[in-house]
Structure 1
Amino acid sequence: MYQLHIAEKHISSWSLRAWLLLRTLAIPFAETLHRYQPDDLAAQRRAWQAFSPTSKVPVLVDGDTVVWDSLAIAEYVAEAHPQVWPQDKQARAWARSAAAEMHSGFGVLRSQCGFRLDEVAAPAISADLAAELARINQLWNEGLQRFGGPFLAGADFSAVDAFYAPVAMRLQCYQLNGCLNGAAADYAQRLLNLPAMRQWCEEAAI
């Protein structure tokens, strides 16, 4: 069974991606949660080096194999569980591209709207933030229209949906859902209503 190292659920969007992917696809894993130490980051790094080469999460352990970084985890798990990505070649290529865009992009949204699970006032919408929000709306509507939904790359939940789930949470918590139109708005709510997503939020409050 895989062992997944994650951080606190109310703050770790990177952990959410890997956790949600495994949980929603019913891929068995054991969860190990680690607490942040904001008052002593050096101590945290030392402690986390015991399981993470980068002292960051998420980290997946499979026997003697250690996989760090959420995108690498998705690709590793897909070798044994092909449902991680769409089976259709074109849908799979699109999904991988969209997940990679999320993985390396949207820096303004990340910095201005830190991951959280409770609602706060909407931030001031700078031109850069507006551009990123427009891109999310465009991308989601493109995938849903092209591949027929209800998920981004087709009928089934896949890794690309796991990567955008924290975005759906950010849009709700920062009252930015108004940036979405058409199918994208329904899709955001669909992600938030996933049983595993609700479980994550419930466990974060424990």
Structure 2
Amino acid sequence: MELVIGTKAWSSWSMRPWLALKRTGAPFTETVVELRRGAQSEAEILPHSPSGLVPALKDGDLVVWDSLAICERLAERFPGLWPKDAAARAQARAAAAEMHSGFGSLRGECPMDLAAEPRAVDLSEATHKDIRRIVALWSGLLAHHGGPFLAGDWSIADAFFTPVATRFRTYGVKLSDFGDAGPCGEYAERLLETPEFKAWEAGG
């Protein structure tokens, strides 16, 4: 398998399936395209991805693009990336899907940048609303499933929220200011301590 990804410091969408694939322990080739070069970046991505976007997974003759679709393909090939329990699996999928389609203000105001020095920034009310929703989502799932991850054991849902944890770190977001009584902050720290994220942050 080959996973085509963007610059590791910036590409949160690339990180998500990379973490899931790394979790499986399966061997894979990593191809990194440098982003933020306009047409040149797109020209280098297009031979790998019909959407012109990263990430893309090459699995034999099959090409799968889009982070969530790639993760679903991996889950089909490597059982264990979603919870075994059907109800927990449904909730984990809902959480991942909400991250995939939502929180646009947070993503826009706080782009992932692993190379940036941590700093506090002023955020809009729309971003505050996104953070409050994330705290509510995390709190509910952690309480319901008992942790240590959103649906108990680590799953694709946690891969989808790991870039969010990096944003909170980079932009000095204190989750206690948004209703967290402690578990969400601990969970965010836990995401950044997984071997998979440590490997990504170190360059693979």
TM-score by length of 2: 0.93
CA contact (8 A) 2:33 2:41 kept: no
Q: How do residues 23-42 of structure 1 correspond to structure 2 at under 5 angstroms?
A: 23-38=22-37, 41-42=38-39
Separation in 1, partners of 2:81, 2:35 = 29
Unaligned runs of 5+ in 1: none
Separation in 2, partners of 1:4, 1:77 = 11
Post-superposition offset of 1:37: 5.0
Separation in 1, partners of 2:40, 2:7 = 17
The CA deviation string for residues 34-83 of structure 1, in whole angstroms up to 9 with x for no partner, is 11252xx2232222111110111110010110000000001111111121
Post-superposition offset of 1:120: 3.7
Residue 81 of structure 1 aligns with which residue? 78
TM-score by length of 1: 0.92
Separation in 2, partners of 1:64, 1:172 = 39
The CA deviation string for residues 140-178 of structure 1, in whole angstroms up to 9 with x for no partner, is 111111111101011x21100000000000000100033
1:59 aligns with 2:48: no
Structure 1 segments (4+ residues) deviating >6 Å: none
Residue 138 of structure 2 aligns with which residue? 140
Shifted more, 194-203 versus 62-71: the winner is 194-203
Shifted more, 121-130 versus 90-99: the winner is 121-130
Unaligned runs of 5+ in 2: none
Residue 150 of structure 2 aligns with which residue? 152
Residue 184 of structure 1 aligns with which residue? 184
Instruction: Specify the code of the residue in structure 1 equivalent to 2:184.
Output: A
Separation in 1, partners of 2:9, 2:43 = 22
Separation in 1, partners of 2:36, 2:165 = 27
How many residues matched? 200
Separation in 1, partners of 2:34, 2:117 = 23
The CA deviation string for residues 88-109 of structure 1, in whole angstroms up to 9 with x for no partner, is 0000000000000000000000
Percentage of identical aligned residues: 46
3-state SS, counterpart of residue 203 of structure 2: helix
Separation in 2, partners of 1:138, 1:103 = 17
Cα 1:46–1:160, aligned 2, differ >3 Å: closer, same or farther? same
CA contact (8 A) 2:92 2:151 kept: yes
Residue 106 of structure 1 aligns with which residue? 103
